[in-house]
Structure 1
Amino acid sequence: MPQPRLFLVYEPEKACLDRLVDQGYPQERAAEISSYLAQSTDLAPEFADIWREAGKRGITFTPLELDEAAATITSADPDTSLVWTLTDGIAYFRGGTAPALARLAGLRTLGADDSLFALCQDKFRSGAVLSALGLPVPQAGLARNGHWLVEPPASERGWFVKPNRLGAKIGIWPDSHCHDLDHALELSRRVSSHYRDDVVVQPYVAGRNVRASFLDMTAHADMSSLGVFLVESGADFQTMADSLALYGDTGAEAKSTGFYVEPELVPLAATQPLADAEIRRVAARLVTGLGLRDVFSMDLRVKADGTIHLIEFEVCPGLPCFDFRAYCRAQWSMSLAEAMAETAARRLVG
């Protein structure tokens, strides 16, 4: 019988950049957009470590570039194969096709089904679904190139403006938190010009940034295994410039020169245990009501009084990012390579 095999499907940063340039994006804009795939760049040097850890557990690790995935996945053995999608996307990125290809071929997948890969990449639609589930998400308007498609609700603290489908970050420029709706429409024109995207316009939510990460390494973990951390970066929200300084080649250069320091992660339960418990309840609701499983993350804002706001969820969290690595060490006492291999082995060999 063939040895069980883990396929890790990823879209390379360079392939995305070249495609965007071919579609007419200026080089600078294409580089900014493709930077959201830097996790595939950051993880590639560790493929050998993952392969070694997988081998210790009786499985074969096969990293697979997205453009090669269709032919390889559709010819794989459904009884011995598992597909883990590293990079998602439905607009600028194409990784959301990987779980659909796996389903077409009858292969098992690690992570949510392909419908959620599409939903979480559209912030306006996902917010509507999360609201229908009774979860604490900010209401939102939607604007396209200076025109309202849906007007946002009133807000005494101003509004937050972010692209609707570009990556998973919560802001692009320092003025993404604006104080009048004319400015919000101007930002929508800027986003349309730079990235060809609509914008979500939400009432600004005060508070501290929280990242919740989950990896079901044992195949039967519950929300007690969720890692909930305050992200102390010294900034109110992450901009495109902050993102570029964290990951990929640009991030490596920034860290080597001392330009950027990784945010500090502090367990939320240490200071706000009730908010921590509420976040775990929300995560459980996402599992039962939405179908999240195996691996996901959430971005939230937590106020001083413990009130939480769910900003967005990800079915394809940045595995090699500092926060997910820290979660693997804190929750599972494993390196990222060990945690990935163990998670796959529990599904493939029991």
Structure 2
Amino acid sequence: MPTHELILVYEPEAACLARLVAAGMARARAGEIASYLAQSTDLALEFDAISDACAARGIVFRPVELDRAASVLGATDPAHAIVWTLTDGIAYFRGSAAPALARLGGVAAIGSDDSLFALCQDKFRAGAVLAALGLPVPAGGLARDGVWLAPAPASPSGYFVKPNRLGAKIGIWKDSRCTTEEQALALSRRIFAAYGDDAIVQPYVAGQNARASFLAVSPAADARDIGSVFVDAGGDFQTMEDSLALYGETRAQARSAGAYFEPALAQIAATRPQAAKHIEAIGVALMEKLGLRDVFSYDLRLEADDTVHLIEFEVCPGLPCFDFRAYCKSQWGLTLAEAMTDTAANRLLG
């Protein structure tokens, strides 16, 4: 009887760091960028748990480093395997190659269409698409090293400036919220000098930070299984410094020093049911209009009057991160390893 396989493709932090340094990037900045892949480092600690959960369902769990993905997928039986890509990336990261390789080899994949792996990592282009689909995204300008490529709209509330193609709060500092266009352009120069990236400049949106998560653990899962929570990191917005302390080796160091803490999560439906309905409606639109499926998350700002702003979406949410674990537990009553296994089993075994 053929063996069923769950193939998890991941890009290690160390491989990314070495590649960026070899390309001439300062090691400190390369390390910040590579930290985006810390979920690969964290999830590796649970490979045995995932393997055991899969084995109980008659599935072989096979974690594969991205640089080996082409050869492994080329030798895979498409009829008895499914690919789960852990990270996206088209610029500093390369994870979007994995779902494309799966499609090339005719291997089924968990997650959205591979074109969305590229779109989600370009915040400016993604925002344009989301706006065209009628979703409530803030308008944005794009600047490169102090020069407007697309001017930002006038904003009495000021601006929020961040790298266009970097996630995990990389390049978001305490002064990333600014007042004037001149200050926004100065931040774009700082971003370009540090990372060589363009900067997206959006009107500052007041409110609370929220995240919505989805995993198709059940074959019948739909937008009603989206879980939305307030994420309180103790400030108006989370910075790169805040984010670095939550994942990978930096998290381990913070824990050993007694300085580790996770942002507080609170179910939005418990106190703001109308806002939760708005967030679910956004999820429906993302699934029906954009094509998100299987596993994804999206970040939002929620105003006091329940106005919801969609900030960005992720096709590869941080699976081992505190918020996604909490979603698996609250929505499905499962550990991360169990939730991943059930999701794969439903696709592989029917």
- Using structure 2 for the length normalisation, give the TM-score: 0.99
Aligned counterparts of 2:7 and 2:220: Cα–Cα separation in 1:
21
Match of 2:107 in 1: 107
Aligned counterparts of 1:173 and 1:32: Cα–Cα separation in 2:
13
- Using structure 1 for the length normalisation, give the TM-score: 0.99
Match of 1:269 in 2: 269
CA-to-aligned-CA distance 1:46-70 (integer Å, 9 cap, x gap): 0000000001011110000000000
Contact 1:171 1:237 in 2 (8 A): no
Contact 2:84 2:110 in 1 (8 A): yes
Match of 1:155 in 2: 155
CA-to-aligned-CA distance 1:171-193 (integer Å, 9 cap, x gap): 61111000011111111011001
Counterpart residue identity of residue 233, structure 2? S
Match of 2:137 in 1: 137
Contact 2:119 2:126 in 1 (8 A): yes
Tell me how far 1:75 sits from its aligned partner: 1.5
Tell me how far 1:258 sits from its aligned partner: 2.7
Match of 1:41 in 2: 41
State the secondary structure of the residue aligned to 1:230: strand
State the secondary structure of the residue aligned to 2:281: helix
The reply on whether 1:234 has 2:267 as its aligned counterpart is no
The reply on whether 1:124 has 2:115 as its aligned counterpart is no
Contact 1:99 1:109 in 2 (8 A): yes
Tell me how far 1:45 sits from its aligned partner: 1.0
Counterpart residue identity of residue 231, structure 2? V
Contact 1:17 1:30 in 2 (8 A): yes
The reply on whether 1:288 has 2:308 as its aligned counterpart is no
State the secondary structure of the residue aligned to 2:190: helix
CA-to-aligned-CA distance 1:79-121 (integer Å, 9 cap, x gap): 0010000011100000110000000000000000110000000
Structure 1: any 5+ residue segments left out of the alignment? none
State the secondary structure of the residue aligned to 1:174: coil
Counterpart residue identity of residue 194, structure 1? A
**Aligned residues: percent identity?**
63
Aligned counterparts of 1:278 and 1:61: Cα–Cα separation in 2:
37
Counterpart residue identity of residue 272, structure 1? R
Match of 1:146 in 2: 146
State the secondary structure of the residue aligned to 1:299: strand
Aligned counterparts of 1:128 and 1:27: Cα–Cα separation in 2:
33
Contact 2:168 2:240 in 1 (8 A): no
Tell me how far 1:170 sits from its aligned partner: 7.9
Aligned counterparts of 2:5 and 2:205: Cα–Cα separation in 1:
44
State the secondary structure of the residue aligned to 2:258: coil
Q: Which 4+ residue blocks in structure 1 deviate beyond 2 angstroms? A: 168-171
CA-to-aligned-CA distance 1:214-266 (integer Å, 9 cap, x gap): 00001220111111000011111111111111100001211332323101110
Match of 2:298 in 1: 298
Structure 2: any 5+ residue segments left out of the alignment? none
Match of 2:327 in 1: 327
Counterpart residue identity of residue 265, structure 1? L
Contact 2:244 2:250 in 1 (8 A): yes
Counterpart residue identity of residue 107, structure 2? L
Contact 2:211 2:300 in 1 (8 A): yes
Deviates more, 1:256-265 or 1:159-168: 256-265
Aligned counterparts of 1:200 and 1:24: Cα–Cα separation in 2:
24
Contact 1:210 1:229 in 2 (8 A): yes
1:1-350 map, 5 Å: 1-169=1-169, 172-350=172-350
How many residue pairs get matched? Answer: 350
